[in-house]
Amino acid sequence: MEFKISDQHNHLVKTTYHAENDPNAKIKGASRTIIKGDFGSFSMEVLQGQSFIIGWLNAAITTAIDILPHTDTPILCWYTTLRGNVPCTLSGKGLVPLTELYQGLYYVPANGTNVASFPVGKYEAVYISVSTGFFESFFQRNPQFREIYERKYKRSEEGAVLPYFELSMNAASVLEQIFTHQETGDDLESFLDLNIRKLFYYYFKKLGQPGNIDRISEIKKEIDDNIGENIKINTLAQRIAFKDRGRLSSEFKVKFGVDIKTYIGRQILHLAEHALIHEKSRKIADIASDLGFTGQAYFTTFFKKWNGVTPSEFKKQSKENDMI
């Protein structure tokens, strides 16, 4: 999928830069295009595989403009807006709001007239377009989702848009892994293919759930399921904050009595204390690694902040209590 400045606003463009496999791209191995002008700037980083394309879009708009998403062939596209809200007109569908921190699945017809109207502000979005063969392969491996897809697809006007809903922490985690990957060659193709399948899996799993899901309890469950699975505390906290922007954290505190960051800290502390008490033969460095800390020193700082003593002191105290 290509993104072009509309003819109406093209006179505002001053420079266009493009490079394949740009060493300055934030996503390793991506091509990068940067358009600058009197409207501000718009950049695209693109990774292309045999059956998929991943695009990361960033914009800093100082004068409102229209940008035209265009494709020569029909595509199925997963899309999420990470920052900002953009009104979009999708060919064959009409107005489609691209809402911050929501995800959706779209059918984009070939050579249609699609318009994304960017107001003044800063924007970030990710799209992943896949081939029909990719989709068929996905459903062969996940047949439980085929009926959901076909039912929802037929229900959608013009068959253009499946339901969109809030970006989950699992989906945010997959995007984070794609953005920070260090793979090359065939390993990169396999890595991206696997993570795109994860995104579709999480999307269809959510699509098949009842409509009235308690989103705060869902966030708590995602935290509980992910803590202790070799996820760094700062990464997990950042991912929640990235999804949250303050609103969900306050709702979380009303329901559970603590904010999200405090809950994450307490849960990790509980796992650390349990390991230090019941797995005395294990090295503290190994426990820290299992909990996702980058080093024992960081784990010690975290543990003392939350517990008041170092892991070594806590472990010693637990041994002395066993002897009493």
User: Which of these, 62, 79, 87, 85, lies nearest to 1 by C-alpha position?
Assistant: 79
Confidence of residue 36 (pLDDT cuts 50, 70, 90): very high
- Rounded CA separation 165/102 (Å): 5
What domains sit in the chain, N to C, each tagged with a CATH number? Answer: 2-213 (2.60.120.10), 217-323 (1.10.10.60)
Asked if 252 and 237 count as a contact pair (C-beta separation under 8 A), the reply is no
Confidence of residue 157 (pLDDT cuts 50, 70, 90): very low
**Which pLDDT value is given to residue 159?**
38
How many degrees, rounded to 5, is the angle at CA 296 between CA 295 and CA 297?
90
Higher local confidence (pLDDT), 156 or 124? 124
- Rounded CA separation 218/240 (Å): 12
**Which pLDDT value is given to residue 33?**
96
Q: Which of 79-83, 192-196, 205-209, 308-312 comes out lowest in average pLDDT?
A: 205-209
| Length of the chain as a residue count | 324
Judge whether residue 187 has pLDDT over 70.
yes
How many degrees, rounded to 5, is the angle at CA 119 between CA 118 and CA 124?
55
Higher local confidence (pLDDT), 249 or 63? 63
User: Which of these, 174, 175, 75, 182, lies nearest to 124 by C-alpha position?
Assistant: 175
Asked if 79 and 125 count as a contact pair (C-beta separation under 8 A), the reply is yes
Half-sphere exposure of 108 (CA within 13 A, CB side): 28
Model confidence, pTM: 0.67
**Which pLDDT value is given to residue 8?**
92
**Which pLDDT value is given to residue 1?**
81
Average pLDDT score over the chain? 83
User: Region 276-292: what's the mean pLDDT?
Assistant: 85
**Which pLDDT value is given to residue 270?**
84
**Which pLDDT value is given to residue 213?**
54
Judge whether residue 154 has pLDDT over 60.
no
Q: Which of 66-80, 126-140, 170-184, 203-217 comes out lowest in average pLDDT?
A: 203-217
Coil, strand or helix at 37: strand
pLDDT digits (tens, 9 = 90+) for 226-257: 776 655 555 555 555 555 556 667 777 877 78
Confidence of residue 198 (pLDDT cuts 50, 70, 90): very high
- Rounded CA separation 319/76 (Å): 59
